[in-house]
Chain A
Amino acid sequence: MIADIVANLSLGLSIAASPEGFLFLLIGAFVGMIVGLFPGFGPAAGIAVLIPMTFGLEPTIAIIMLAGIYYGSMYGGTITSILINTPGESATVASTLDGYPLAQKGRAGPALVMQAIASFVGGTVGVILVTALAPSLADFASSFGPSEYFLIIAVGLLMLTTMMGENKFKGFISALIGFAIGTVGVDVMSGQQRFTFGSAELIGGVYFVAVAIGLFGIGELLHCVLNGQHRQPAKKLRVSFRSAAFWPSRQDYSECRYTFARGSAIGFIAGVLPGSGATLGSIIGYSIEKKIAKDPENFGKGEMRGLVAPEAANNAASAGAMVPLLSLGIPGSGATAVLLGAFLMWGLQPGPLLIVNDPGFVWGLIASMYLGNLILIALSIFAIPLFVKFLDIPYVHVVPVIVLLCVIGAFAINASIVETWILVVSGAIGFAMKKYGYSPAATVLALVLGSMAEETFLQTYIISDGTMNLFWERPVSLVLSIMLIVVIAAPLIGMLARRLSRGKTIAGDV
C-alpha cells in the first residue's frame, strides 16, 4: 500500500515538478494569493475568471494551476484580515478575531509569519490525508450504483444549503435553479431537445463556464461596487521582514504547537464533508481552541492560538475538499464545483474510476499540492511586502481588469456571443442572489451535478420499476437515505422545539 503511494507520488511529482508544471503552479499560487487579497472576490470567482486563460495547456497542468489559485487564496485572504481587519475571503473571517488585535498590538509581523506556518501545516497535513484516503475511498466507491450517487449529490447539496444559516430555504431554491438551468439542451437519454427555444447554440446546453464566470465574477464584482469599494482610496500599508520584530518569538511557537495539529484535523474533516468547507472549518477550529484554552478570556484580544487554529483549519479544509472531488467526482463547495466544471471542460470524467483511468492527472494534482504549499509558505513570508503593495492598487483599477477578463474569456471559450450574453445575465442574477441572501455556490454546484443527478435518479427509477426501493435496500444507500432524512428533519425539529419552548414560556408568563 505504502509502496503504491510512493510510486504514485513519484509519478505525480514527475508531472508537477516538470518545468512547465512548476511554472504554472507558481503562477496559480501567486494569482491565488492576489485573489485572496481582494475582499469580496473569492476563489470560486478567481478560478472561473481564469479558466479561459488555461487554453492551450495540458489538462493536468491547467488543473494544477487552477487548484493553486484555490488553496493559494486561503493564504492571501489572511493578510488583509490581519492588517486591515477585512477578510479577503470568507474562510479567513475567523482569522480577523485575533489577527487584527495582534496587528494593533504591534505584532503584525509575527502574526503574518505564524499564519503562513499554520497554513502550511494545515495544507500539508490535509494533502497527506488526501494521499492516504482518496484512493481508498475511490476503491470503496467503485461499487456504488446510481442510487448511491443520487443520494450523495442530494445529501451534499442539502448540507451545503443547510450550512447557510438563516438562508437555508433560499439556498435550496438556488440549488433548484441550478438543476433547472442544467436541463436546457438535448436530453441524453431520449435525444429530445429541452428549453432550447429553437436556438442551435443551446442544443449543447447552457455552457457551465459562462454561467460560473457570470455568477461569481460579474456578480461579486457588482456586489463590491454596491459596497462602494471602487470609491475607496488605496490603502498605504508598509511591512518589512528585515526587522527583528517581524519574526515570531519562541513562546509563540511553543504555545501553538498543539494548535497546529488540532486545527488541521478539524479543518480536514470539515473539508471532506460536503457543504461545510473552509469557512465552517475555520470557525469550528477557532471555537474549539477557545473552549479548551485555560485562558479563553485572552481570545479576541490578540491571542496567537486564535489566529493559528482557523488558519490551519481553513487550509486543511481546502485540501480535504479534494477527497470527495477526486474519489467520487462530487464537489462540496462553489470553488470545487468550478474546478469540477474545469475537469469536465478538459474531457476528464470525474468519479471513482478517474484515479484508475488517469493516474497521471490525479497524482500530478496531489503532488502539486505538496509543492504548492512549499511555494506558498515561501511567498507568504518573503513576498509579504510585495503582496501588501497590491493593496495600494485602488479598486477602481481592478474593476475593468475583472470585466475584461470575464467578457473576453467567456467569448473566447466557443467564440459565441450568445454565451457572452449568458455571462451578462448570469452576472445580474448572481448579484441579486448575493444581495438577497441566495447562494450562487449552490446554483453552480447543482448546475455541474444536474445531469448526473437526473441520470442517476432515472436509472434508479427504471431499475427499481418505479418503486425506488434501491434507496433503502442497498446498505450504503440506506445509510445515505437516513443521512438525507436527518439533514432535512434536523432543522425542522429544531424549529418545532424552539416554537414549543417559546409557547411554554409565554404560557408560564401568563
Chain B
Amino acid sequence: MKKWFAAALLVLSIGYTAYGLSTLTLFTASGRPAAGFFPLFIGLLLVITCAVNLLGDIRQWAAEKATGARHAHRPEPAAEKSAEALGIETAALDGGAEHGRDVLIVFGYVCAFVAALKVLGALLSMIAFMLVFLFTFNRGHTVTNIVYSLALPGFLFWLFKILLNASLPVGPLGV
C-alpha cells in the first residue's frame, strides 16, 4: 500500500501542477510574478520529490519481495514479559498486530455519519453513529452501549447548541 500512496501523491502533484499551469497566470504584463508563480514552484518541487519518493518505495518493495521479508507482526519478547506481569495484552505495549479491517469499518462509519448530518440532523446522526459503532466493537454490553449512545450525544448537543450557541444541522425532529 505504501507505494500506492506514493503513486497517488505523484498523480495528485502532476494534476496540481498541470491545472495550475492551465488556469493561472505566471507573470504579469510588467514581468512581475503573478498568482501562478508560487504554485508552479511548489508544484514542480512536488512532482520531482514525489517521483523520487515513488521510485524509492518501489525499490524497497522489490527488495522486500526478493528477500521474502514481510511486515507481519511478531510480539517483542520484552513486551510479552512485561505484559504478562501487568496482566494486559502484549499489543498494548508493542503496538500489536494491525487491524486494517477495523480502520476501514471506522472510516466507513465516519463517512456515513457525515453524510447523515444533513438528513437526520446533528443529534440523531450522533446517536446513530454511537449505536452502530458500539454494537460493532463493544458487543455484549447492550445497556451500557444504549445509555452511552444517548448520554454523550445529548451532552455534546447541549454543549455546542445551547451553551456555545453553535450552528448545527437540523433534522426532521427539529434537532
Contact = CB atoms under 8 A, between A and B. Distances in A.
Interface string B47-84: 00110110010000000000000000000000000100
Interface stretch (A141-149, A325-333, A382-390, A425-433): A425-433
Nearest to B144: A397
Contact of B97 (A104, A228, A400): A228
B86 to A, nearest CB: 6
A84 B93 contact: yes
A399 B106 contact: yes
Given A177-B46, A183-B38, A183-B39, A226 B107 contact: no
Interface in B14-41: 16, 19-20, 23-25, 28, 32-39
Interface in A385-427: 394, 396-397, 399-401, 403-405, 407-409, 411-412, 415, 417, 420-421, 423-424, 427
Interface-central residue, A84, A225, A415, by most chain B CB under 10 Å: A225
A55 B46 contact: no
A53 B164 contact: yes
B39 A233 contact: no
A231 interface: yes
Contacts, number: 188
B45 interface: yes
A176 B2 contact: no
A229 B28 CA distance: 54
A403 B129 contact: yes
A403 B91 contact: no
A432 B4 CA distance: 11
Contact of A231 (B23, B34, B99, B110): B99
B143 interface: no
A322 interface: no
A327 to B, nearest CB: 26
Contacts of B173: none
B5 A404 contact: no
Contacts of B88: 84, 232-233, 235
B37 A458 contact: yes
A190 interface: yes
Nearest to A179: B42
A61 interface: no
Interface residues of B, number: 75
Contact of B33 (A194, A229, A421, A462): A462
A479 B59 CA distance: 39
Given A403-B113, A424-B114, A436-B2, A228 B96 contact: yes
B124 to A, nearest CB: 13
Interface-central residue, A53, A399, A401, A412, by most chain B CB under 10 Å: A412
Nearest to B10: A173
Given A227-B99, A408-B156, A170 B53 contact: yes
Interface string B89-118: 101110111111011001100110110011
Given A170-B53, A400-B129, A408-B160, A176 B42 contact: yes
A301 interface: no
A408 B122 contact: yes
Contacts of B32: 462
B142 interface: no
Interface in A167-206: 169-170, 172-173, 176-177, 179-180, 183, 187, 189-190, 192, 194-195
B159 interface: yes
B120 interface: no
A380 interface: no
Contacts of B16: 180, 195
A139 interface: no
B2 to A, nearest CB: 5
B28 to A, nearest CB: 8
Contacts of B117: 407, 411, 417, 420
Interface string B5-17: 1100100010010
B35 A407 contact: no
Contacts of A411: 117, 122, 168-169
A481 B143 CA distance: 63
Given A235-B92, A427-B110, A458-B33, A404 B126 contact: yes
A345 to B, nearest CB: 14
Interface of B: 1-2, 5-6, 9, 13, 16, 19-20, 23-25, 28, 32-39, 42-43, 45-46, 49-50, 52-53, 56, 82, 85-86, 88-89, 91-93, 95-100, 102-103, 106-107, 110-111, 113-114, 117-118, 122, 126, 129-130, 133-134, 137-138, 148, 152-153, 156, 159-160, 163-169
8 contacts: A173-B46, A176-B45, A176-B49, A177-B46, A189-B35, A233-B89, A397-B138, A404-B152
| Across the A-B interface, the 8 shortest Cβ-Cβ residue pairs | A412-B166, A187-B35, A415-B167, A192-B35, A454-B38, A183-B39, A228-B96, A190-B35
